[in-house]
Amino acid sequence: MAKDSPIEWTKHTANLSLGCCKVNKGCDNCYAAALAKRWGNDIWGSDKPRKQVISVWANLLKYQKEAKAACKTHPVFVGSMQDIFEKPMPLIDHKGKNLDITTGDLRQKFFENISNGMYPNLMFLLLTKRPSNINKYIPDAWKLCPPANVAFGTSPVDQATANNLIAHLLHVKGKRFLSVEPQLDEITLSPWLQNKSIHWVIQGGESGPNKRPFNTDWARKLRDECKATNTPYFFKQIDKVKEIPADLMVRQFP
């Protein structure tokens, strides 16, 4: 959990659990996996349990209270240290004890809270590398009429992953966004932007000691495609070290 997150395109982050497994080359230098190892948490991989985050429920209520008091809607990225649409996985508590619930049970509770109107001033940005799982795990009612305060996103890193992930995302009703990071090659989003099937584009390069190169012309390409289709566009970073050129300092929200 992070209040006033350093991630530029959100106000807060929320994680129901910690841990995941890598699914494509965009995950090669995953910061969440590196942090888990640094913290001594053996929660990464397809055969590892995930770690429950108890504080998430109280923090979400706190974020809701603060947003309501400010008469604003605050975005919450779910999740920076997990994939909300990963298949149900075993859980451990903060002491490493096995629990008799799974990540799927936490997800169900979270979705029920949203459906019951507990967080009307929070906009949940549900970002996943597994968009094919979204309709498997959201409530049936959401498949026809998703809540207004939920947006579904996925993370392409090159044209091949864009073609694949977006195809699955388009089967999901509601607000859709893309977090094109870490971008590893040139991408065009024009077909989906022109038909208004994607409602927000976030873009950025990779950071960290093993970062792979990012070409700012890739950013100008997507910036211009978004501008031509009146799609909100947010450029996050080149690599957290290089300064963002003035013409790419575009940070729009839906």
CA–CA separation, 119 and 110 (whole Å): 10
Contact 118, 91 (CB under 8 A): no
Residue 200 pairs in a beta bridge with 177
Bridge-based pairing of strands 98-102 and 74-78 is: unpaired
Residue linked to tokens 């109280």 = 58
Asked if residue 7 belongs to a domain, the reply is no
For residue 131, what is the DSSP state?
Answer: G
The percent of residues in the chain predicted with pLDDT above 70, rounded, is: 99
Asked if residue 254 belongs to a domain, the reply is no
Q: Is the pLDDT of residue 2 over 80?
A: no
Asked if residue 166 belongs to a domain, the reply is yes
Asked if residue 226 belongs to a domain, the reply is yes
- Give 217's Cβ-side CA count (13 Å radius): 2
Domain CATH code at residue 156: 3.20.20
What pLDDT was estimated at residue 3?
67
Q: Per-residue confidence at 5, pLDDT binned at 50, 70, 90?
A: confident
Note the pLDDT tens digit of each residue in 81-114.
999 999 999 999 999 999 999 999 999 999 999 9
Asked if residue 5 belongs to a domain, the reply is no
Contact 79, 15 (CB under 8 A): yes
Asked if residue 3 belongs to a domain, the reply is no
Domain of residue 176: give its range.
12-248
Note the pLDDT tens digit of each residue in 36-81.
888 889 999 999 999 999 999 999 999 999 999 999 999 999 999 9
What pLDDT was estimated at residue 104?
98
Measured from the Cβ of residue 214, the count of other Cβ atoms closer than 10 Å reads 22
Asked if residue 81 belongs to a domain, the reply is yes
Q: Is the peptide bond before 205 cis (omega within 30 degrees of 0)?
A: no
Residues contacting residue 109 through CB under 8 Å, at least 6 positions apart: none
Residue 178 pairs in a beta bridge with 154, 201
Asked if residue 218 belongs to a domain, the reply is yes
Cα separations in angstroms, 57 against 1, 43, 61, 107, 118: 10, 21, 7, 12, 11
Total structural domains within the chain: 1
